[in-house]
Chain A
Amino acid sequence: MTVDSENLVAAGLDRRVRSSFRGKVANFAPFATLLTLLIFFAIASPSFASLDNLTNILTEVSVTGIIAVGLTFVILCAEIDLSVASVANATGIAVAFFTAQNASVNIANIPLSGGLAIVVALLVCVSLGVANAIGITWIGVPSFIMTLAMLQIASGIGALLIRGQIAYAVPPLISTLGSKSIGPVPWVVVVAATVLLLGHFTLRYTRFGRYVYMVGGNREAAEYSGVNVRAVIASVMVISAVCSGLAGMLGVAYFGSAQQEEFDSYLLDSISAVVVGGTSLFGGQGGIGNTVIGLFVLGILNNGLDHVRIDSFLKILIRGLILLAALIINVYAQRLRASRSPVADA
């Protein structure tokens, strides 16, 4: 028996080394995609690899990045939030709605002081997130359906507030964070980096973060272990809405205006960022690190294609094909990882 158990220990260690290596390969796949794109564009275009362009790329992915942080929490729980872009839009419109606008903007808005406008706008996104949370955890609507409805509802709220107009004024704080720079670095990049770091820290080093991974890894087991699964899922939906709301406010300042449908492309962009980075849609695997890589893949792809001479209509197709390729690589890398542990003999 002792000889056998020693063998087992040795075998276990062997397996551990092997699995951690394979785990690294799985994590390395999105990184390899990123590296390939980086090298390709650096060679293909002399204007791509410059400090200015790096700032461009960072700025371009910042708003998506803030949304993607909340979405990472949701996807790690094996849920989905399809309302992120419209919640962002509604919150962006709300912050403008509660700011004094130029006389040419013909909406019945309610001007508040800058700070209050931000608080009210945050309340808007929190309540939309709470509505998602209640629908999913209490009523039991699948998150895909619930947030699909919320996508429409949030768009509707935005439309009602802005009434087809374009509002330009936002509170000074939002305007600074969204469109000004600190030295060479745009504030929006600083905010995005902070939110990403905060997200990473929460997921890796807090009890709540652990619950997020465990709920995503095996919901039933989390429940049997006494984790309040509903509360965890409700929380990630609210976190997602708040991230979207913050991104919406900064986005309005970044674009220079608040109007309907201006965030529409952000839903697919943020989901792509999370998934291309290697976070599993089935929950429990991945994290903010993966999302950062996903953001860069997306950002470099979008930016790089503008630096090489291709038919601009072809670019859309190429972008899709490269994203598909990245996902296929991820799937193979995941499979390599999954094949590692044979199911124990029952």
Chain B
Amino acid sequence: MGSPIPLLELTGISKAFGGVSALRDVDFALQSGEIHGLVGENGAGKSTLMKIIAGVYADYQGTMRLHGIPVRFRSARDALGAGVGMVHQELSIVPQLTVAENIFLGFQPVTRLGIVNWKRMAREATVHLQSLGIEIDPQTKVSTLPLGLQQLIELVRVLFSGARIIILDEPTSALSPPEIERLFRVLGKLREDGKSLILISHFLEDILAVSDRLTIFRNGEKIATASATEIDKAWIIDRMIGTTRGEFGGSNTGDVFLNSNFDAPVALEVNGLSVAGILRDVSLKVRKGEILGVYGFMGSGQVELAQALAGKLPTKRGAVQIEGKAVRLHNSAAAKRAGVAIVPESRRSMLFAREPVYKNISISILERFARFFLRPDVERQIAHQRTVDLDIRPRTVDLPLGALSGGNQQKVALAKWLTYFPKVLILSEPTRGMDIGAKQDVVKIVRDLREKGIAVIVTSTEPETILALADRVVVMKKGTIAREFAGEPLGKDQLLAAA
């Protein structure tokens, strides 16, 4: 299109997994020194394309050119050798080692005697970090650093191993706003140094703010590539989902009025709950038919609060009452008996990938209809009903769970608790990493649960999730409840300010 030869050019890329087409005839070009954002719903093909570029998938159709020369990477190492590196969503740093050791992992400088040259390593690590504006002591153990810094260290490592094209998968999803800003500053510096970056993200504002160009994927096809200055969020969403509809029914941009109900009976009351080193004196109430949003940045304690209430963390002090009765939540089975259920933030920790869908759904309710002997017919029937209620696709309940898409897997995690309803349902990050369509489905499901009189607790680090769902909001900060919002209009800015 008149522009110079792209640094990386892919033409006619197609890729299928066992008959399911993941990419269809996709063209993609990366210019030297640009930040290129990729957006699209789950399963739109963006991750697959990136894995092809990074050498993870070697069997695909189409051609890839680097500097105009056709290449085909056979492994991630192969790709890295050619200067293409990837920072995955799940970090691959070694938490027990120091920052410097991680950066130099596999390439430690040695003295003439063959002993690791610690001084030089620390010095060079400092130079690398400072050149990117990251101020950390390279002797710090990585496990003690916040997630945002750990991610930057992984980025520095990928850079250090010679990457000139760097792919980042969902780099901002677990970061707080200041951390995101710092990441973007670093990305900007890298661009100035002539590095090219590809970013995958569901956070449209983030990706719009940092990218030069954006490419939108839908259903394994490339829909459009545009300069970030010429487009806005609505334009992107339009192309991502094919029709015009606002995220969460348009409630994420304007203020939300908290429709708090103070009359309903209290379902869960927590008094002075403490967990060693994490939670300090947390007290809260959740009423029947109410959605309580628990907002906070990463590490502010909302994950641990959810786990403690689900019987997954030993509590040091504090009393919990359910419908007025004192309960002990010493393990997850006890919590379930007391009527507390949880859907944790990570799909993997809730689901059995190799087992069929129906077993995944029935596991949490087996005792209700199978005192001693299993009744697979009942299990399948219940599971089928849930796939209909929640629009889980495909409807084949005998399919291994691992064969479902991410969004559908998330729905299966929810489906476990929707046959015999718990009194209190805790949802940790219910929409994280989901595309807009799946997010809206989850919002609808959670609102239905409220109508059924269930007390729902939604914990999240995403203000949008909280604003879309909550009737009342508490903001957590350093393991305590810092602020409560009820019966008033609330916006993203207020939430961020309180946290």
Interface residues of A (CB under 8 A from B): 4-5, 7-9, 11-16, 18-19, 205-211, 213-214, 217-218, 220-231, 284-285, 340-346
| Other A-B pairs, 6, CB within 8 Å; known A16-B396, A206-B373, A285-B354 | A13-B396, A14-B18, A14-B20, A205-B374, A210-B363, A226-B341
Complex interface bits, B296-315 against A, C-beta within 8 A gives 1, otherwise 0: 00000000000000101000
Min Cβ gap A197→B in Å is 15
Check A346 against B373 for contact (C-beta < 8 Å).
no
Which residues of B sit under 8 angstroms from A230, Cβ to Cβ? 331
Check B331 against A344 for contact (C-beta < 8 Å).
no
Min Cβ gap A203→B in Å is 10
Which residues of A sit under 8 angstroms from B416, Cβ to Cβ? 225
The docked-state distance in angstroms from the alpha carbon of A191 to that of B47 is: 55
Check A226 against B354 for contact (C-beta < 8 Å).
no
Check B352 against A344 for contact (C-beta < 8 Å).
no
- B43 an interface residue at 8 Å Cβ cutoff? yes
* With contact pairs A16-B399, A345-B43 given, residues A214 and B352 touching in the complex (Cβ less than 8 Å): yes
Min Cβ gap B435→A in Å is 10
The docked-state distance in angstroms from the alpha carbon of A209 to that of B372 is: 10
- B272 an interface residue at 8 Å Cβ cutoff? no
Choose among B47, B341, B364, B374 the residue that contacts A345 (Cβ–Cβ < 8 A): B47
Min Cβ gap A25→B in Å is 15
Check A284 against B219 for contact (C-beta < 8 Å).
no
The docked-state distance in angstroms from the alpha carbon of A217 to that of B348 is: 11
The docked-state distance in angstroms from the alpha carbon of A178 to that of B465 is: 66
Min Cβ gap B9→A in Å is 24
Choose among B20, B332, B341, B364 the residue that contacts A15 (Cβ–Cβ < 8 A): B20
The docked-state distance in angstroms from the alpha carbon of A11 to that of B404 is: 10
* With contact pairs A210-B374, A341-B403, A342-B17 given, residues A226 and B394 touching in the complex (Cβ less than 8 Å): no
- B409 an interface residue at 8 Å Cβ cutoff? yes
The docked-state distance in angstroms from the alpha carbon of A332 to that of B252 is: 50
- B468 an interface residue at 8 Å Cβ cutoff? no
* With contact pairs A15-B20, A207-B370 given, residues A346 and B89 touching in the complex (Cβ less than 8 Å): yes
Q: Could you write out 14 A-B pairs with CB less than 8 Å apart?
A: A8-B20, A8-B405, A11-B19, A15-B19, A19-B400, A207-B374, A210-B374, A217-B352, A220-B349, A221-B363, A223-B312, A229-B332, A230-B331, A346-B47
Which residues of A sit under 8 angstroms from B343, Cβ to Cβ? 224
The docked-state distance in angstroms from the alpha carbon of A221 to that of B360 is: 9
Choose among B350, B406, B409 the residue that contacts A225 (Cβ–Cβ < 8 A): B350
Min Cβ gap A140→B in Å is 12
* With contact pairs A8-B393, A13-B394 given, residues A224 and B366 touching in the complex (Cβ less than 8 Å): no
Check B335 against A8 for contact (C-beta < 8 Å).
no
Choose among A213, A223, A226, A341 the residue that contacts B353 (Cβ–Cβ < 8 A): A341
Choose among B20, B332, B370, B395 the residue that contacts A224 (Cβ–Cβ < 8 A): B332
* With contact pairs A14-B19, A344-B404 given, residues A5 and B393 touching in the complex (Cβ less than 8 Å): yes
Check B20 against A228 for contact (C-beta < 8 Å).
no
* With contact pairs A206-B374, A207-B373, A214-B355 given, residues A344 and B406 touching in the complex (Cβ less than 8 Å): yes
Check A225 against B363 for contact (C-beta < 8 Å).
yes
* With contact pairs A214-B363, A221-B349 given, residues A9 and B395 touching in the complex (Cβ less than 8 Å): yes
Within residues 366 to 381 of chain B, which ones have a CB less than 8 A from any CB in chain A?
366-367, 370-374
Choose among A4, A226, A343 the residue that contacts B336 (Cβ–Cβ < 8 A): A226
Complex interface bits, B395-432 against A, C-beta within 8 A gives 1, otherwise 0: 11011101111100100000010000000000000000
Check A205 against B373 for contact (C-beta < 8 Å).
yes
Choose among B20, B352, B371, B398 the residue that contacts A11 (Cβ–Cβ < 8 A): B20
Which residues of B sit under 8 angstroms from A9, Cβ to Cβ? 393-396
The docked-state distance in angstroms from the alpha carbon of A124 to that of B355 is: 37
Across the interface, name the chain A residue whose C-beta is closest to B434: A346
Q: How many residues of B contact A (CB 8 A)?
A: 57
Which residues of B sit under 8 angstroms from A224, Cβ to Cβ? 310, 312, 332, 342-344, 349-350
- B333 an interface residue at 8 Å Cβ cutoff? yes
The docked-state distance in angstroms from the alpha carbon of A206 to that of B341 is: 24
Across the interface, name the chain A residue whose C-beta is closest to B17: A342
Which residues of B sit under 8 angstroms from A208, Cβ to Cβ? 372
Across the interface, name the chain A residue whose C-beta is closest to B40: A345
Across the interface, name the chain B residue whose C-beta is closest to A217: B352
Choose among A8, A11, A222, A342 the residue that contacts B363 (Cβ–Cβ < 8 A): A222
Which residues of B sit under 8 angstroms from A221, Cβ to Cβ? 348-352, 363
Choose among A15, A220, A231, A285 the residue that contacts B399 (Cβ–Cβ < 8 A): A15
Within residues 213 to 270 of chain B, which ones have a CB less than 8 A from any CB in chain A?
219
Which residues of B sit under 8 angstroms from A220, Cβ to Cβ? 348-349
- B195 an interface residue at 8 Å Cβ cutoff? no
Q: Nearest 7 A-B pairs (CB), nearest first?
A: A226-B336, A228-B333, A341-B402, A12-B394, A225-B364, A9-B394, A11-B20
The docked-state distance in angstroms from the alpha carbon of A299 to that of B17 is: 42
Which residues of B sit under 8 angstroms from A228, Cβ to Cβ? 331-333
The docked-state distance in angstroms from the alpha carbon of A285 to that of B355 is: 10
Which residues of A sit under 8 angstroms from B404, Cβ to Cβ? 12, 344
Min Cβ gap A7→B in Å is 8
- B42 an interface residue at 8 Å Cβ cutoff? yes
The docked-state distance in angstroms from the alpha carbon of A7 to that of B394 is: 9
Min Cβ gap A286→B in Å is 12
Which residues of B sit under 8 angstroms from A342, Cβ to Cβ? 17-18
- B157 an interface residue at 8 Å Cβ cutoff? no
- B48 an interface residue at 8 Å Cβ cutoff? yes
Across the interface, name the chain B residue whose C-beta is closest to A19: B400
The docked-state distance in angstroms from the alpha carbon of A304 to that of B47 is: 54
* With contact pairs A5-B393, A13-B396, A226-B332 given, residues A344 and B18 touching in the complex (Cβ less than 8 Å): no
The docked-state distance in angstroms from the alpha carbon of A24 to that of B396 is: 20
Which residues of B sit under 8 angstroms from A210, Cβ to Cβ? 359, 363, 366, 374
Which residues of A sit under 8 angstroms from B293, Cβ to Cβ? none
Check A227 against B333 for contact (C-beta < 8 Å).
yes
The docked-state distance in angstroms from the alpha carbon of A228 to that of B335 is: 10
The docked-state distance in angstroms from the alpha carbon of A286 to that of B405 is: 26
Which residues of A sit under 8 angstroms from B363, Cβ to Cβ? 210, 214, 221-222, 225, 227
- B433 an interface residue at 8 Å Cβ cutoff? yes
Which residues of B sit under 8 angstroms from A209, Cβ to Cβ? 374
Min Cβ gap A5→B in Å is 5
Check B403 against A15 for contact (C-beta < 8 Å).
yes
The docked-state distance in angstroms from the alpha carbon of A231 to that of B367 is: 15
The docked-state distance in angstroms from the alpha carbon of A90 to that of B394 is: 54
Choose among A5, A7, A12, A205 the residue that contacts B403 (Cβ–Cβ < 8 A): A12
Across the interface, name the chain B residue whose C-beta is closest to A341: B402
Across the interface, name the chain B residue whose C-beta is closest to A7: B20
The docked-state distance in angstroms from the alpha carbon of A11 to that of B19 is: 6
Which residues of B sit under 8 angstroms from A213, Cβ to Cβ? 355
Which residues of A sit under 8 angstroms from B336, Cβ to Cβ? 226
* With contact pairs A12-B399, A224-B342, A225-B416 given, residues A218 and B352 touching in the complex (Cβ less than 8 Å): yes
Check B374 against A344 for contact (C-beta < 8 Å).
no
Which residues of B sit under 8 angstroms from A214, Cβ to Cβ? 352, 355, 359, 363
Which residues of B sit under 8 angstroms from A231, Cβ to Cβ? 333
Which residues of A sit under 8 angstroms from B403, Cβ to Cβ? 12, 15-16, 19, 341
Check B400 against A344 for contact (C-beta < 8 Å).
no
Which residues of A sit under 8 angstroms from B332, Cβ to Cβ? 223-229
Interface centre among B22, B310, B364, B394 (most CB of A within 10 A): B394
Which residues of B sit under 8 angstroms from A223, Cβ to Cβ? 312, 331-332
Min Cβ gap B49→A in Å is 11
